Structure 1
Amino acid sequence: MPKQKLKRRSDGRYQRKVTLSDGRQKIVYGRTEAELKAAVSFLLAEDDAGLQVGDHTLVGEWAKIWLNSYKLSLRAATVRMYRGSYNNHIMPVLGCMELRDVRPVHIRKVMSSIADKSESTQSKVLLTMRQLFETARQNALLLRNPCDGIKITRHAKSTAKKYLTPEQAETLMRTVTEPRARAFCALCLYAGLRKEEALGLHWDDIGPASMAISRGVTFPDGNQPDPSMELKNRASRRVLPIPKKLREVLLNTPHTSEYVIPSADGSVITSTGYQRMWQRYVTSMVDFPVHAHMLRHTYATTLYRAGVDLRTAQQLLGHATIQMTAEIYTHLEAEDSLKAVHRIDEYLEKGTG
């Protein structure tokens, strides 16, 4: 058991010299005996856990090691997310602090600074901090993860529709006539492809009754596509049935490139090329808001309305977890329950007649 000696300093603080398990000695301070006792207990707990007591590694120093050792093998877009979350939101608050000094209150300070940001942004920042400090704990630089128990600030959900009505979907496909734009809309609307999956699709991926999703076109560094063409997750690699409406569109789409949605010169499309196509041939053609992910969400709605079970819907959408699919289904179920009020009113009116 380490030896401990209590002493009161001239400034009124208490101090105790603690001998650690490796023979080193460290002086601990406290304004009261209770505060000193708590500081000693924390130090001994760190020592028992095998931490290098007295380590002065800064959060910023560890962040560089963490990114290079744990994250560089991931998709470029994912690395960019972690780097952006740290540089823009975490570093200004925690970068110059020592790892061992970070407490939950400091994590809350970061989260408070972005409480007005989207839930998505908050989740990415909290995920980055949680993993950053968890790997520090696994490397015996921390006793516990200061992010434990921290949550994002939920916002009131927007009342804007996340999907198209059947009438809007029909109008879109009737109005969008440019071949590439029409094929893109059909792939997202009738097969639920993500934007990057539709842009990465080859004609060779399409068979008589199904198509294979095996690559995605993303733009992590600006305009040029990522050469790796990696998909978002393992579940994204899937084989999808081709509905009749999609088949009709594809049969009438010219084969000008190996890509179904190529750039004007037939090569893989750039970010600028996609934006130009979308604005010129899609959004300018309809009088209602529409974006690519809205078409994918419309497909998810179609699956729900068609009675497709949750597990099958997860596989068709390429969701990494069934919770993601369940969230969409639950939202649609809630909408349906609100519509039931008309049937309730009709029943009650009959009962009182």
Structure 2
Amino acid sequence: MDDKVLQLRNEYISYVRLEKNYSVHTVSEYEKDIDEFLEFLAAEGIPTIEDITYQEARLFASRLYDRGLSRATISRKISSVRSFFNYMNGRYNIDDTSFRLLHHPKKEERLPAFFYVEELEKLFVACQGSKPRDFRDLALLELLYATGIRVSELTSIKLGDIDNELGIVRVMGKGRKERYVPFGSYAQSAIELYMADSRLLLMKNVKHDQLFVNLRGGPLTERGVRHVLDAIVERAAIQSKIYPHMLRHTFATHLLSAGADMRTVQELLGHSDLSSTQIYTHTTKEHLRRTYMNTHPRA
């Protein structure tokens, strides 16, 4: 790619990382999608971004379909490039009509995966132990389930962000939106035990103010959280796979199943749009159906 295109690409990636405050994973996806689009331009002999027309945008989408990618993946890639053009339009008045007019493929309806209470209990039991790592893992698991926060929000928590006495944590969400999320007695107890001496033992001689610490003493990263959760599932010997967002899904599903109103759950999750929260109503209906089918004598 030429120097101008490379400059625009790097500028936009810095924008989503620093100004939009997207997670490391999300920024990586944007980078991959935009680089793929720029490779498409080079292969098609399109010299500059200003030369893109609706026909080229459709051709790009067509190539994605030809590769047999899922509709969700194609939709994400189109959205990434559309956002890139929208940024360039706002900053440099580059026409973004080509991708603004391009339709997203309809996504498959997939309900968010979540843990049942019995599965969660096995995870908590698997964290029981006397090593500093065990106390950290339990505090991490309890806080994720108690608050429904994103992993990027968890790894950014500093000591000054958490008030264990009041049971409130301050988190910085997407777009640098700050919110306060409450947590209950189980998380409070787990954090107190972790903070008593396990955190300092894990830190060794490293100094920083991040709440969660890796085994080398540095701040725990998003990838590190995934490793921790994978290890917990392995120790619990349950069949379910785990990924960090599953605990967020579980938090929302359990609240709505117990009668919490959707607006409250929306605020706790930090969703800007209620439609993002509404998907959990479908999950709770499925939860009710499965409970009924498993327990009713004449189901």
**For this structure pair, what is the TM-score category when the shorter chain's length is used for normalisation?**
0.7 to 0.9
Map 1:232-271; keep pairs closer than 5 Å. Answer: 232-235=174-177, 237-253=178-194, 254-255=196-197, 256-257=199-200, 258-270=209-221
2:148 to 178, 192, 201: 192
Give distance in 2, aligned partners of 1:165 and 1:332. 11
Give distance in 2, aligned partners of 1:332 and 1:85. 33
Deviations 1:181-221 (A, max 9, x none): 11111111121122222233334332222323335xxxxxx
CA shift at 1:118, angstroms? 4.7
In the alignment, which residue of structure 2 is the partner of 1:106?
A: 56
**TM-score, structure 1 length as denominator?**
0.63
Give distance in 1, aligned partners of 2:51 and 2:216. 56
CA shift at 1:171, angstroms? 1.5
CA shift at 1:155, angstroms? 5.2
Confirm or deny: 8 A CA contact 1:181 1:282 kept in the other structure: no
CA shift at 1:101, angstroms? 4.5
Give distance in 2, aligned partners of 1:285 and 1:338. 23
Amino acid at match of 2:284: L
The secondary structure found in structure 2 opposite 1:262 is coil
Number of aligned positions between the proteins: 270
Coordinate RMSD, CA, aligned = 3.6
Give distance in 1, aligned partners of 2:82 and 2:142. 39
The structure with higher relative contact order (CA 8 Å, sep 6+) is 2
1:165 to 83, 92, 116: 116
CA shift at 1:71, angstroms? 4.9
Deviations 1:219-272 (A, max 9, x none): xxxxxxxxxxxx43344x211112122223223324424444212243312466
CA shift at 1:273, angstroms? 4.6
Give distance in 2, aligned partners of 1:136 and 1:266. 41
Give distance in 1, aligned partners of 2:29 and 2:223. 21
Confirm or deny: 8 A CA contact 2:126 2:232 kept in the other structure: no
Q: Which moved more, 1:327-336 or 1:259-268?
A: 327-336
1:84 to 23, 32, 41: 32
The secondary structure found in structure 2 opposite 1:213 is strand
**TM-score, structure 2 length as denominator?**
0.73
Amino acid at match of 1:86: I
Amino acid at match of 2:32: G
Confirm or deny: 8 A CA contact 1:164 1:295 kept in the other structure: yes
Deviations 1:15-51 (A, max 9, x none): xxxxxxxxxxxxxxxxxxxxxxxxxxxxxxxxxxxxx
Unaligned runs of 5+ in 2: 19-23, 129-133, 201-208
In the alignment, which residue of structure 2 is the partner of 1:285?
A: 236
Unaligned runs of 5+ in 1: 1-58, 216-230
In the alignment, which residue of structure 2 is the partner of 1:146?
A: 98
Give distance in 2, aligned partners of 1:205 and 1:169. 26
Confirm or deny: 8 A CA contact 1:234 1:320 kept in the other structure: no
The secondary structure found in structure 1 opposite 2:97 is coil
Amino acid at match of 2:189: E
CA shift at 1:63, angstroms? 4.0
Deviations 1:151-201 (A, max 9, x none): 333454457x61001111112112222111111111111211222222333
In the alignment, which residue of structure 2 is the partner of 1:75?
A: 17
In the alignment, which residue of structure 2 is the partner of 1:212?
A: 169
